[in-house]
A and B are shown apart, each in its own frame.
Chain A
Amino acid sequence: MAYSDKVIDHYENPRNVGTLDKSDPNVGTGLVGAPACGDVMRLQLKITDEGVIEDAKFKTFGCGSAIASSSLVTEWVKGKTVDQAMTISNKDVARELALPPVKIHCSVLAEDAIKAAIDDFKKKRQARQEQA
């Protein structure tokens, strides 16, 4: 199957591969998997107390489209507020990367990862506020 140029670009030069400190209260970790294929994606966001995403890192074990999808969303979310990032949908990702229908689940994984990471951050923040 032919990958689009954008997928190949992100696959060959993935942006923001790596890890952030999971125990940092300002870091939200999203970990999602696709039981349809058995691939996993971890997305971490460093979010300021004002709710702005200042850094993003990912690690994905999957096909080229899954890696490209996560690489792309790390670029997209940086500088966005949490609320703005929540509106990123898998359709935006699939359109930008020109993913074929059989690869839509890769973009779904990326959307799920953003939501899971933000969810994790919000839970951490709430736990902190309850302690204070």
Chain B
Amino acid sequence: MKCWNCETDTSGSPFCPTCGKIAERPAGTSHFAIFDLPLAYDVDVPALEKQFRELSLRLHPDRFAQAEAKERRLSLEQTTALNEAYKTLREPTRRAFYLLKMYGVDLEREDTGTQKDMPFEFLEEVLDLRESLEDAMAAKDLEQARKMATDVEARRKAALTEAVDMLRSLERSPSDEAAVKKASHALGRVRYFTRFLEQVEAFEEEALS
């Protein structure tokens, strides 16, 4: 990408190395690229946080209040992109979902057909779990709900670990379709378990209020 002001090659850096103006980013720049990180699961979070603070100070719209319109707009845009990238990368689960998307599986997609991807047996299990929770809620049995939550939380962690293992192995062999599928199923389980735990939490709040 060339600098919009002086045409120097900014090559992915947030500011032009020659004139110091905020650099433009190509459309679809990944969250990893914003922090100049490789596409990999393992991220040094304290270092990421430090980088985030520095960059957000340097890009802060207040600093560009007197600048020309183009740079004011870039300051806003890059700050938004930076915040989004930081929010996604600092949190392991979000980071894993985002990486999976980089491998072509977007679990946020809502169009027809994509949902059927989870194994039938697993969906059956989720339905059973939700039915048991519904029974516990109807009986106002907080103990039972908590017991189920402890079990589901352990399974959620195990599923995330499995997904991370797959994502790490994909860094070595990015075109391993079977690993992508396994990562996608594991993260799918994470999502369903998370939903279950949210329901228990809501029930706890209601029961204790």
Residues of A within 8 A of B (CB): 31-40, 42, 59, 61, 90, 104-105, 108-109, 111-112, 116
State the main secondary structure of chain B at its contact with A. Answer: helix
> Which residues of B lie under 8 Å from residue A32 when comparing CB positions?
115-116, 123
A104 and B131 alpha carbons, distance in the complex (Å): 25
- Confirm or deny: B168 has a beta carbon within 8 angstroms of a beta carbon on chain A: no
> Which residues of B lie under 8 Å from residue A61 when comparing CB positions?
127, 130, 134
Range of interface residues on chain B? 20 to 34
> Which residues of B lie under 8 Å from residue A90 when comparing CB positions?
112
> Which residues of A lie under 8 Å from residue B120 when comparing CB positions?
31
- Name the CB-closest residue of B to A104: B110
CB of B115 within 8 A of CB of A112, answer: yes
State the main secondary structure of chain A at its contact with B. Answer: mixed
Q: List 20 A-B contacts (CB under 8 A).
A: A31-B120, A31-B124, A31-B127, A33-B192, A34-B115, A35-B114, A35-B115, A35-B118, A35-B187, A36-B109, A37-B195, A40-B126, A40-B127, A40-B130, A42-B127, A59-B131, A104-B110, A108-B110, A108-B111, A116-B116
Output the residue of A31, A34, A37, A38 with the most chain B CB within 10 A. A38
Output the residue of A39, A61, A112 with the most chain B CB within 10 A. A61
Q: A31-B120, A33-B123 known; A112 and B113 CB under 8 Å?
A: yes
B115 to chain A, nearest CB (A): 5
- Name the CB-closest residue of B to A38: B195
- Name the CB-closest residue of B to A119: B116
